[in-house]
Structure 1
Amino acid sequence: MDIKNNRTSENTMEAACKVTDDICLPDSKFPRVVIIGGGFAGLALVEKLKHKELQVVLFDKNNFHQFQPLFYQVATSALEPDSIVFPFRKQISGYKNVAFRLVEVEEIQPSLNTLITSKGKVHYDYLVLATGTTTNFFGMDSVEENSLGMKDIRDSLNIRHMMLQNLEQAAITCDDDERDALTNFVIVGGGPAGVEMAGALAEFCKYILPKDYPEYPSSIMKIYLIEAIDELLSTMSDKASSKTLKYLKDLNVKVLFNESVSDYDGSQVTTKSGKTILAKNLIWTAGVKGQFPKGIDEKHVVKGNRLKTDSNLKVEGHENIFAIGDIAAIITEQTPKGHPQVAQTAIQQGKYLGSSLLKIMEGEAVKPFEYKDKGSLATVGKRKAVADLGKFKFAGYFAWLLWSIVHLLSISGFRNRLMVGFNWAVSYFSYEKSNRVIIRNFKPKSVIHTKK
């Protein structure tokens, strides 16, 4: 063994880390920008800072980016999960100033410019929080224990396995009430995620159920969409809302307006008006809340657990901590609730902050962030979608085609685009969903906690 070479290697490794670091990073003479979260906002920022005179470090608890707009298609067996996830290391391959570390950040220590993570601590010169949101059950523990959200690729797979397991069990049981509960689906929330999930489930019921489960008629599978106000897609136009309602009714989805869930025990949904629905499948898309490490004073946190920032996306009360994407809230007269928590906002803020950070480091003035609304799209099954593009409001086949093109081009990686495009082409002509396999048993959180 060459002791001299080994010592040289060890010294080089030590030189790569600052004294305050436990997590080893490449040696750099440039300022270190740490980004927590590799969603749309975080990756847009990485792209803007690549090849610049900075050391960019991306932290995430997963080693992949996930394309959230298509979670519902994984949940309903239309796509496999590897079609809409993309490894960070492949994404940043060739970016010499960018490093990725698989860690979960637990605490921010602003006074020390330090992060405490699941793997140790690390120093930063600039910190960017792009941690996104998680499902908000509004304090209803029983609903959280027995239902599923749709904010992670694992949630989508859990929904798929829950659905398939319950359909198989429905073919076994001779109890009519049990069969109804197993084949009834309740979706809470009439935003894009809820509407798209309801449409996909309805098409599964119409085209797949009769072929796979001849034991009972497809009419046995009932789909309920519960919305707390009196319209769907409330952030879109009235035309989009009314057209969406028509499309869902054509697919036999039962839409319940001005209703909200008050309780769910895993077998029965109870609403505030006293209505009850037998269902062992409840999918929650009714709300989100911000998630970020501890260390930011609560006085800088606003409604929705979002971080209040100035017009340059700097977190209130801090000089070198920024927030972008769903977690950020620029509160002004024009945006009293902050900007919309959608992908285009996150991408625009990521790009903006990339340019701004470079100017800040040079001591240059920075213009305020300005959001440009490029329009909204939502699909309700095959060949049916709604679109609001400025003054243009339209629905139907062309809106669906536009939705398909926009989403296909937005997916990371050529292979992923090819896989999704191929699956969509097969489905277009046949309605076939070839991924109806139960890879692992799904167990509700309530069952897991009981066993513990």
Structure 2
Amino acid sequence: MDTNLPVSAQPRVVIVGCGFGGLRLAKELADAPVQVVVVDRNNYHNFQPLLYQVATGALEADSIAYPVRKIFAGQKNFFFRMADVKGVNSAANTLQTSIGDIKYDYLVVATGSLTNFFGIESIEKNAMQIKSIPNALNLRSYIFQNFEQALLATDPEHKQALLNIVVVGGGPTGVEISGSLAEMRNHVLPKDYPELDLKKMQIFLVEAGPALLGPMSKASQGDAKRYLDELGVKVMLNTGIKRYEEGKAYYSDTEYIPTENMVWAAGVNGAALPGVAESSVTRNKRITVNQWNRVEGETNIFAIGDVANMVTEEMPKGLPMLAPVAQQQAAHLAKNLQRIMRNEAPQDFKYFDKGVMAIVSRNKAVVDIKNIHFKGFLGWLSWLFIHLILLVGFRNRVVALVDWAFSYVSSGQALRLIIRPFNKRDVKDDKGKRAAEQAAATPEYNPTPSAVQTAPVV
């Protein structure tokens, strides 16, 4: 047991996941009298808000990822184990992993979220997603592979399907990737593929709700729609994709969009762990926690971030799945854990809403701060500044800044390489690996986007 972790007289805090919440919590506990153990299936922290830029060739993968061990170099009470987490045995206070059981005094679940396919098997099987770096790299390769195939296609309908791209979900992720793809079509692809009539290439953004960017202000919703219209993106509101098979994305029983490129960004589930009290797990697989982030029905298990469902008077459906929520909960929980260890009463968590933002394309972004809305070039500069600050590692900030500056001056992405060819028939990507972990999805189509892709305003 304990996978060669050193024996310590200090309490052990085991954190599952090194996303925004897990990373912040481990840092906040640096000087606490505890042993901090982080368990993650990857040995790097992934900056999810910029995954779409990896998918479209604007950034390389190592620009948005940073090694966990390097982040915590010098933190003496920190230990990392790379493993898949299988479940929790709360009676024995052990975390069950692919490398063995790990004993804990306090367990913090910071596993984030998984893509929700709403039980539509054909979409889960055939659509692409961008929840991880492998997802983004696969999507990038797949799109360019289809352009290469379009050069050879003789059947007009098949050629059109290879060129068309359908993005499902009008949240920040869907809006941002649609805008980035439109810019690539307008400025980059004509130079790379002069043999193709790229005027025929169509980018569709399909949203089940009545507006884009549902959680944002009406001004932001309207501005985002207008920007996408100007870029030539075909926005389809009040429309849901019912199934996706044989290169056809059906939005009714008989009507469809021909496409071999469908990106699913329409919903998320919490990544709850098996073994956590079943009474605390909601329909969308988030774990219900109290105002101290303690899991309902448990005594020493906590949850933060996307996977945590904290209900307040202001937000009866739970706090939004935003990076700032995870970070604020992590900082607060670090203090509460030390209070609990000192036999002091923990304090209630209060979320401070810093606002949200979304980028559409170069010089076009929307920002909401309380009742203040701004857009355009100022919004775009704000988006760049915030994301540069939040990136982990000085090198990543410099590389991202250089890549963005190059793209701005040259109006093109440089990373259009098919280094790792992707075949959907042979590789099921992360959704296959996580199939056993993710229970049946929420049955109804919920247009609420994954707000983790937005950035906080600081």
Contact residue 146 and residue 446 of structure 1 kept, 8 A? no
- Give the partner amino acid of 2:342: E
Once the 2 structures are TM-superposed, how far is the Cα of residue 318 of structure 1 from its aligned partner? 0.6
Match of 2:77?
97
Contact residue 167 and residue 183 of structure 1 kept, 8 A? yes
Q: Please point out which of 410, 414, 422 is paired with 2:390.
A: 410
Please give the secondary structure, in 1, of the residue aligned with 2:379: helix
Q: Identity rate of aligned residues, in percent?
A: 45
Bigger shift: residues 122-131 or 428-437:
428-437
Once the 2 structures are TM-superposed, how far is the Cα of residue 332 of structure 1 from its aligned partner? 3.2
CA separation in 2, counterparts of 1:272 and 1:26? 59
Match of 1:151?
131
- Give the partner amino acid of 1:163: I
Q: Please point out which of 297, 301, 304 is paired with 1:317.
A: 297
Q: Which runs of 5+ in 1 are unaligned?
A: 1-20
Once the 2 structures are TM-superposed, how far is the Cα of residue 223 of structure 1 from its aligned partner? 0.2
- Give the partner amino acid of 2:248: Q
Once the 2 structures are TM-superposed, how far is the Cα of residue 447 of structure 1 from its aligned partner? 7.2
- Give the partner amino acid of 2:80: F
1:384-427 Cα shifts (integer Å, max 9, x gaps): 00000112101100000000000011000000000000000111
Once the 2 structures are TM-superposed, how far is the Cα of residue 297 of structure 1 from its aligned partner? 2.8
Does residue 165 (structure 1) correspond to residue 164 (structure 2)? The answer is no
Q: Which runs of 5+ in 2 are unaligned?
A: 430-458
CA separation in 2, counterparts of 1:303 and 1:332? 18
Once the 2 structures are TM-superposed, how far is the Cα of residue 300 of structure 1 from its aligned partner? 1.0
Match of 2:55?
75
- Give the partner amino acid of 1:75: A
Q: Please point out which of 221, 228, 238 is paired with 1:258.
A: 238
Once the 2 structures are TM-superposed, how far is the Cα of residue 173 of structure 1 from its aligned partner? 1.2
CA RMSD of aligned residues (A): 1.3
Q: Please point out which of 53, 65, 68 is paired with 2:45.
A: 65
1:57-111 Cα shifts (integer Å, max 9, x gaps): 0000000000000001000011100000000000110000010000111010001
Contact residue 199 and residue 248 of structure 1 kept, 8 A? yes
Q: Please point out which of 311, 315, 322 is paired with 1:331.
A: 311
Bigger shift: residues 405-414 or 167-176:
167-176
CA separation in 1, counterparts of 2:78 and 2:427? 42
The aligned runs of 1:29-428 (5 Å cut-off) are: 29-272=9-252, 274-428=254-408
Once the 2 structures are TM-superposed, how far is the Cα of residue 273 of structure 1 from its aligned partner? 6.4
Match of 1:4?
none
CA separation in 1, counterparts of 2:37 and 2:82? 11
- Give the partner amino acid of 2:414: S
Contact residue 103 and residue 118 of structure 1 kept, 8 A? yes
CA separation in 1, counterparts of 2:246 and 2:346? 52
CA separation in 2, counterparts of 1:283 and 1:446? 18
CA separation in 2, counterparts of 1:277 and 1:271? 8
What TM-score do the two structures reach when normalised by structure 2? 0.92
CA separation in 2, counterparts of 1:395 and 1:311? 35
**Greater than 6 Å deviation, 4+ residue runs:** 446-449
Please give the secondary structure, in 2, of the residue aligned with 1:400: helix
CA separation in 2, counterparts of 1:224 and 1:299? 40
Please give the secondary structure, in 1, of the residue aligned with 2:385: helix
Once the 2 structures are TM-superposed, how far is the Cα of residue 327 of structure 1 from its aligned partner? 0.2
Contact residue 163 and residue 259 of structure 2 kept, 8 A? yes
Q: Please point out which of 422, 427, 447 is paired with 1:442.
A: 422
1:20-41 Cα shifts (integer Å, max 9, x gaps): x241112321000000000000
CA separation in 2, counterparts of 1:232 and 1:244? 7
Contact residue 138 and residue 420 of structure 2 kept, 8 A? no
CA pair 273-234 structure 1, distance change in 2 beyond 3 A? farther
- Give the partner amino acid of 2:306: D
Please give the secondary structure, in 1, of the residue aligned with 2:203: strand
What TM-score do the two structures reach when normalised by structure 1? 0.93
Contact residue 133 and residue 291 of structure 1 kept, 8 A? yes
Contact residue 315 and residue 322 of structure 1 kept, 8 A? yes
Higher relative contact order (CA 8 A, sep 6+): 2
CA pair 418-448 structure 1, distance change in 2 beyond 3 A? closer
Contact residue 147 and residue 266 of structure 1 kept, 8 A? no
Contact residue 272 and residue 281 of structure 2 kept, 8 A? no
Once the 2 structures are TM-superposed, how far is the Cα of residue 287 of structure 1 from its aligned partner? 0.3
1:180-214 Cα shifts (integer Å, max 9, x gaps): 00000000000000000000000000001110000
Number of positions where the alignment pairs a residue of Structure 1 with one of Structure 2: 429
CA pair 448-319 structure 1, distance change in 2 beyond 3 A? closer
Contact residue 145 and residue 446 of structure 1 kept, 8 A? no
Contact residue 145 and residue 445 of structure 1 kept, 8 A? no
1:294-318 Cα shifts (integer Å, max 9, x gaps): 1023221113110001110000011
Contact residue 386 and residue 394 of structure 1 kept, 8 A? yes
Contact residue 184 and residue 412 of structure 2 kept, 8 A? no
Contact residue 279 and residue 296 of structure 2 kept, 8 A? no
